[in-house]
Homo-oligomer: A and B are copies of this chain.
């Protein structure tokens, strides 16, 4: 399922002028406050009419100024989780949740109430009214409501900002499953880049109403660009295969283009594909073969690129066969160890330094969350 967006729209002093093209999967939309993220997804949902342009989801044209197509918002089957919950104050949580269900043909429903209740821990709130819910409770209901409409595309505008980490952990796998299983494209707006990159297929950066960069998550996140998306989050992203499990130590062995990785045990069968991200800040470089270290993952490679500013750190790109890692080291280490392109080095990756949440996401079924107080 493909999402194509090419729209312009003037909003007072602000001008939205965005072009996006992305395949199947989850598009993470980043940008600072006021960049125009909400405005952009409003055009997709049919809430903000572009001055000109075209919007298509899975080949179905939702808007086209040339051929004068403008599908009304209630026919777009867009699941929109707004920045604020926008619950129906006069309906119980249950009726809020089920509001959109009737509009989806039964054959196309891909999620049921019970599943959503369990997932979002909403069981005990079912008969309450939105007025007295806490902020996070409200947002959970809003997410459940959008999901239960079984939308063809899911637009999520910072939906997890007001959820606690544990709750996020419980919801993420579900969002990821949606992405893999139902082929529903998701546009996910977030400020917290770490939160989403592990799910994202595509990342788009937005500033001043324009898309400044857009591409596969690996490419955008690997740019050793200090002005890029969250310096702290830069890292290499690649796909790997599950080759085996070490139940005793609760480890899973993965194979990727650069060698073998050992990561916390994954509940996935051998042969499964998985995406792995190794952040530059989690890679240590050694010029001698390391020994006696708690680090399980050590790779031999060659420095391919060195980006050095006048700050504390420098970014290294280390080639490992067909793959590469990014490493962030101090400029002092670059000098002390004489790191430079062409040099052979060892890259140390702590296994627990993997963003281990990315694997939770691959569990076949989301865990039942603990009942909420």
Contacts and interface: CB of A to CB of B under 8 A. Distances in A.
Interface string A83-104: 1100000000000000000000
A36 to B, nearest CB: 8
B250 A310 contact: yes
Interface string A107-134: 0000000000000000000000000101
A32 B331 contact: no
A353 interface: yes
Interface residues of A, number: 79
A326 to B, nearest CB: 12
A31 interface: yes
A84 to B, nearest CB: 7
A136 B264 CA distance: 36
Interface in A222-270: 230, 246, 249-251, 262, 264-265
Given A140-B33, A250-B331, A350-B284, A161 B164 contact: no
B294 A293 contact: no
A294 B337 contact: yes
A214 interface: no
A292 B290 CA distance: 8
Given A31-B164, A33-B164, A208 B246 contact: no
A363 to B, nearest CB: 14
Query: How many monomers of this protein are in the complex?
Result: 2
A35 B246 CA distance: 37
Contact of A35 (B161, B262, B294, B373): B373
A296 interface: yes
A291 interface: yes
Contacts of A250: 310-312, 331
A276 B208 CA distance: 36
Contacts of A165: 191-193, 230
A61 interface: no
B312 A38 contact: no
Contacts of A191: 136, 162-165, 168
A64 interface: no
Contacts of A209: 373
A166 interface: yes
A329 interface: yes
6 contacts: A11-B132, A83-B162, A165-B191, A249-B335, A294-B330, A295-B333
Interface of A: 11-12, 14, 30-36, 38, 83-84, 132, 134-137, 140, 157-158, 161-168, 191-193, 207-209, 230, 246, 249-251, 262, 264-265, 281-282, 284-288, 290-296, 310-313, 327-333, 335, 337, 339, 348, 350-353, 356, 372-373
